[in-house]
Structure 1
């Protein structure tokens, strides 16, 4: 076997710029703010920063609606400031991965402005335009070309009244989908990607990249329960030309460049079998995928209908992905990102007595799997969900659209808000809690979204020199991955698959076996009864002080070296 790729030993840190650090007092995080906090990233020990979009954007979806791929939005700074950030990261040995959002653009992107200007414009076919349903009049209820349901509520089609045609948007109506069937679209995207790589960036995290290939017939999807819309996902998730498009992208953009580059494909709905194809190095598509299976286990039908997570379901999911990508491809490992509520509130226990232990337990569980771990900003501090008291506290277009649609359909507004509160994407987007001062040290102005009031106790300044802090435990986990070939590359074997609270597995390589035991509950258990081999094993890393050799306390997590 040759030298393993560098990212097998790496840890990625996601920066959501709007909420990371504000350098100019306007209440919105920016590139200057990121530069001010680089010591934090260096101290943590991360190898890569994944930067959520900083491109020019009307901000209908907080930057995931891009109006110019080769410009920095003034709210975040300038291209010169970006270059300075990139240089400073490289000086610290940290790579920078950009967020690539090319399933859709902003409706204010010049490409779409031209496409919309006339049915005969040369760029008309750069997007998905369709006439109303046969026999129906444009604007009439149900006249949309398909019955597909948008991820952000409502139909996926928006009527353009001057032309009498509809354009497709899988997300917000301000985010029209690009038509990748048109080779000119693909060439334009490839040219833009080469421009950023030539500037020095180290790769791309590719937003919903498995949606770029659509079934050109655009057939209706099966009806969704209780909805006037249908599920069109079979027509756009991992569509008929997706592998062709990614292989072409690799040839046109990455071939011949240094192997330091990283490509990560965010792929909702992707299966293990599909991921093996996408991440097989011999196929030259992407290095790893973000899959959503494990973050879909705690809701019923859709994200607004939460239910408790069953740990055995999580084991089955993680175990299937570990086994499926053991010999081909690679896993990405995450709890949190800009689209997910905070893991300590979702899967742990964010009450004061248990928050530190459950946050470090969840981190240990994740980081010791085979794959590349991702740390989302604030996760290393144990940041928790926010107490959104009213609808006015929310900013997320997905949450606001859902509330409006549900209330219009007759739902009780307070009940809808109660369902939104624990799962809204805004939970991930409250400002990073740097210290206990007003606005958590994030800004000298008024933050664009309120700081979580718990920042007085939970902040980076309070944890920086505390050896028992969530921050210190993340440092130790990252250092262990860097130092241990067994953590990086060892075989994975799941233990206790049917236990309701204890998550245990081994990692083994070249005669060394590490046993990982995580009690994902507040209930104590006898370690000597569950895993006798753990008794007397060497403690490599644990999250509790002076753990009992024969008993697991609540939220107890240990990495043990078997003798």
Structure 2
């Protein structure tokens, strides 16, 4: 039944489209506005929460932690890293696109997760890995069998094979068969030009959207057509249309680990968002601004970036982040300083768009070097290990210095409590995510200042990136005479920002929100 339904969906689609600091026990910081703008929480499923005691995180574990993700933290969307059947721990080499890997549970577990998430108005994104398959996928094994027998079948056309060595191709065993594999010999590249492959992809997205998934994170988009950027954009335009035909509100966010110019060009595909790599990680503009205490430069860069992506796609939604499962965790390069972690969080979580938080970032987890060390078990507690997973294969990072969730929830000065406060502010101030961002030049370059205009309301934000207090003259910055300090955030428990006449005093590391 599943295969027949999927094939019918695929055929119809191909025919249609063509080839303020929040107290730990205070109110929930969850959002009150339900639309396409969300704060997403990336869950590396195998390392997040274990429901059955086998040491591997699973879907039922994620379901059990939705109250933490939504009610405690304030996120209103989740991105699940791959959950399809796969021979690897990370699941980025799929062997069945329409099944749940048994390590993570059952389809019933998935349905329960989606149902509970939607009951909380939490959107669910799946990782869509369609640049390649596992070498264990039946499509690939049947193609190899045909080639070895000197015959052919439709699956031979699903991949790029050769009888001679080529750059980017690997040999299948000791045979004379070679195939394209950008990432690994265990990940043969799909031929995305093949109508059969496109029909399969249409069926896959239709299947999961039909199951209630709200959208997809598109893995490795720059590798769809690594030597033809225009073809990659055209393919994503087809994929976007294919998803919209099933669910017009489906949300797509692409991974494109590339430079700003190349990333901007991808927005012409119509894909809603691309992860904002130019601003992210240790080498991005956000960390550079924190290091140099250059608030003016950062606000100007943020305005320019948003204007650029909206020129390419007027409906674009930026996707800021500072860490994910492929990059070093920020606590390490922020010297494990709670104040710097809070300042970094405030900086990117107050940007427009849909920010993405990597699990454990909000409690200061660490990890760098090999990939497994960036994907270590979520630290829920040091006394009650229920739900704690084993490290992934090869994971050796020591997380013993990390203060666990249960302790940080009780500490109003913790990094986690600060994340809660930022998200509560973001969720009760719709203009922050949705507004038109305009850079404001403050009197001191270390003050990040900007406005967000949305539906007739303008919000003004000033963030002091410095370790010294600063006094800013609102008249000199062009702020209206009627504005008052309506909200604030503190990174070190210092005195709150204060307005005396038209002079705003910003303590070190503080954020003031004026309306």
Determine if the TM-score, normalized by the shorter chain, exceeds 0.5.
Answer: yes
Shift of 1:485: 3.1
Shift of 1:40: 0.4
* 1:444-466, Cα deviation, whole Å (9 max, x unpaired): 76775668655465111012233
Q: d(CA) in 2 for partners of 1:518 and 1:480?
A: 17
8 Å Cα contact 2:272-2:317 kept in structure 1:
yes
Shift of 1:160: 1.9
CA distance 1:127–1:82, change in 2 (3 Å): same
Q: d(CA) in 2 for partners of 1:288 and 1:323?
A: 14
CA distance 1:23–1:547, change in 2 (3 Å): same
Aligned to 2:258: 269
Aligned to 2:17: none
Q: Does 1:145 align with 2:134?
A: no
Q: d(CA) in 1 for partners of 2:257 and 2:443?
A: 27
Aligned to 1:517: 463
Aligned to 2:140: 112
Aligned to 1:168: 180
> Gaps spanning 5+ residues in structure 2: where?
1-32, 499-503
Q: d(CA) in 2 for partners of 1:108 and 1:464?
A: 43
Aligned to 1:85: 113
Which among 355, 360, 370 is matched to residue 378 of structure 1? 360
Aligned to 2:49: 21
8 Å Cα contact 2:279-2:320 kept in structure 1:
no
8 Å Cα contact 2:381-2:406 kept in structure 1:
yes
> Gaps spanning 5+ residues in structure 1: where?
133-143, 147-155, 215-234, 300-305, 387-421
Q: d(CA) in 2 for partners of 1:115 and 1:497?
A: 63
Which among 330, 335, 341 is matched to residue 343 of structure 1? 330
Mapping of 1:54-65 within 5 angstroms?
54-59=83-88, 62-65=90-93
Q: d(CA) in 1 for partners of 2:405 and 2:189?
A: 40
Q: In structure 2, the residue corresponding to 1:344 is in which secondary structure? A: helix
Q: Does 1:47 align with 2:76?
A: yes
Q: In structure 1, the residue corresponding to 2:104 is in which secondary structure? A: coil
Range moving further from structure 2, 156-165 or 82-91: 156-165
Q: d(CA) in 1 for partners of 2:392 and 2:184?
A: 24
8 Å Cα contact 2:206-2:246 kept in structure 1:
no
Shift of 1:118: 3.5
Q: d(CA) in 1 for partners of 2:414 and 2:486?
A: 19
Q: Does 1:159 align with 2:171?
A: yes
Q: d(CA) in 2 for partners of 1:340 and 1:100?
A: 19
TM-score by length of 1: 0.73
8 Å Cα contact 1:145-1:157 kept in structure 2:
yes
* 1:104-136, Cα deviation, whole Å (9 max, x unpaired): 11111111112222434222221122343xxxx
Shift of 1:202: 1.1
8 Å Cα contact 1:505-1:516 kept in structure 2:
yes
TM-score by length of 2: 0.79
Q: d(CA) in 1 for partners of 2:111 and 2:79?
A: 15
Q: How many residues align?
A: 458
Q: In structure 2, the residue corresponding to 1:293 is in which secondary structure? A: helix
Q: d(CA) in 1 for partners of 2:457 and 2:70?
A: 33
Q: d(CA) in 1 for partners of 2:183 and 2:35?
A: 34
Q: d(CA) in 1 for partners of 2:389 and 2:122?
A: 28
Q: d(CA) in 1 for partners of 2:34 and 2:253?
A: 14
Q: d(CA) in 2 for partners of 1:345 and 1:52?
A: 23
Aligned to 1:526: 470
Q: In structure 1, the residue corresponding to 2:103 is in which secondary structure? A: coil
